[in-house]
């Protein structure tokens, strides 16, 4: 089946940070459906031309049944791309694995991993139906490298990263393209700001718009952008393929 250009791009984590930057950028050219628990503030403000192409639904990714119901409710809506930006960064700043509470483990794994896994798996028929469907995951260096003080974040990110590698391997590129982006720099987002101490110097942090520009290049490319896979995102917006183990 050919790609339906009017089909929606679904973005998780649409209310803040990188997800918000992505929907703000994409909605000027594409139909975008954003999900998060809180309504994006920019929808409350004066509507802009791009907000006409943006719709939003409330969704708590930590509730797997709600995620399944949400996908069922989407059936009349064609989805051709899925961009995964939602994140629960956990309680406070970095702390060792021994100090992570049971509720923190449960919330982070439920949101970052299980919620996204259910969303991806239930949306696969839609994405493949609008072939080639596209999945972009905002992955992290913690998914592939040691991350002291961030065990729950790393476990949830590595789990989703591995799940998407399996999904990528299950589908020929004509059906589905999976791009996992690993930023090589920090972006100044609400979530990151909350995790840093008062007076922290954010001058080296990038504007989330930089990642949004990369997502736009992938989504808006008239021909397949690049092979599926994991890419390091450089500060100048260039992408370098990150070669993972292909087999043992
Ligand atoms: N910022 C960086 O420097 C950086 C670096 C590397 C990778 N990343 C990755 O980039 C992505 C975005 O990060 P960010 O810094 O932009 O995050 P952020 O500012 O903390 O925003 C997180 C988003 O996730 C949503 N969210 C949180 N819990 C949720 C839940 N239970 N259900 C549904 N939505 C939920 C939040 O909306 P609600 O609270 O309204 O639900 C919000 O829109 C993440 O995957 C992160 O791992 C970021």
- Ligand 1 is surrounded, with C-beta below 6 A, by 13-19, 36-38, 59-62, 85-89, 111, 138, 140, 157, 183, 186-187, 189-192
Q: Closest Cα to atom 9, ligand 1: which residue?
A: 138
Percentage of the chain with pLDDT > 70?
Answer: 94
Q: What is the CA(210)–ligand 1 centre distance, in A?
A: 16
Crossing angle for the helix pair 116-129 and 151-170, to the nearest 10 degrees: 20
In this structure, what DSSP letter does residue 133 have? E
pLDDT of residue 45: 60
In this structure, what DSSP letter does residue 47 have? P
pLDDT of residue 1: 45
Q: What is the CA(206)–ligand 1 centre distance, in A?
A: 15
The model's pLDDT over 57-93, given as tens digits with 9 standing for 90+, comes to 999 999 999 999 999 999 888 999 999 999 999 998 8
Ligand 1 pocket mutation pick from 10, 11, 12, 13 by most atoms within 8 angstroms of CB = 13
Average pLDDT score over the chain: 93
Assigned token pair, 126: 């839609």
pLDDT of residue 77: 85
Domain ranges of the chain: 8-242
Q: Tell me which CATH code domain 8-242 carries.
A: 3.40.50.720
The model's pLDDT over 150-200, given as tens digits with 9 standing for 90+, comes to 999 999 999 999 999 999 999 999 999 999 999 999 999 999 999 999 999
The model's pLDDT over 212-242, given as tens digits with 9 standing for 90+, comes to 999 999 999 988 788 999 999 999 999 999 9
Is the whole-model pTM more than 0.85?
Answer: yes
Question: What are the C-alpha distances in Å from 81 to residues 34, 47, 101, 143?
Answer: 12, 24, 35, 22
Q: Please say whether the beta carbons of 243 and 183 come within 8 A.
A: no
Per-residue pLDDT for 46 more than 80? no
Q: Closest Cα to atom 26, ligand 1: which residue?
A: 86
Cα 128 to Cα 194: distance, rounded to the nearest angstrom: 38
Q: What is the CA(1)–ligand 1 centre distance, in A?
A: 33
Q: Closest Cα to atom 36, ligand 1: which residue?
A: 13
Q: What is the CA radius of gyration of the chain?
A: 17
Closest atom of ligand 1 to 183 CA is 6
């Amino acid at each position: 089946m050919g790609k339906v250009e009017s089909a929606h791009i679904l973005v998780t984590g649409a209310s803040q940070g990188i997800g918000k930057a992505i929907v703000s950028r994409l909605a000027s050219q594409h139909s975008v459906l954003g999900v998060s628990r809180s309504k994006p503030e920019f929808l409350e403000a004066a509507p802009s031309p791009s907000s006409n192409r943006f719709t939003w639904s409330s969704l708590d990714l930590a509730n797997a049944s709600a995620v399944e119901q949400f996908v069922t409710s989407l059936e009349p809506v064609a989805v051709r791309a899925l961009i995964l930006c939602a994140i629960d960064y956990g309680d406070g700043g970095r702390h060792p694995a021994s100090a992570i509470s049971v509720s923190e483990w449960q919330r982070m794994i439920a949101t970052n991993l299980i919620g996204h896994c259910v969303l991806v798996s239930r949306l696969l028929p839609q994405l493949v139906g609008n072939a080639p469907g596209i999945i972009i995951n905002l992955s992290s260096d913690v998914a592939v490298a040691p991350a002291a003080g961030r065990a729950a974040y790393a476990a949830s990110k590595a789990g989703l990263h591995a799940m998407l590698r399996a999904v990528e391997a299950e589908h020929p590129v004509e059906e589905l393209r999976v791009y996992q982006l690993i930023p090589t720099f920090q972006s100044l987002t609400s979530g990151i700001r909350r995790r840093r101490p008062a007076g922290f110097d954010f001058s080296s942090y990038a504007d989330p718009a930089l990642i949004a520009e990369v997502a736009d290049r992938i989504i808006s490319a008239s021909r397949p952008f690049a092979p599926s896979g994991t890419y390091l995102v450089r500060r100048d917006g260039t992408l370098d393929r990150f070669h993972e183990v292909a087999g043992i």
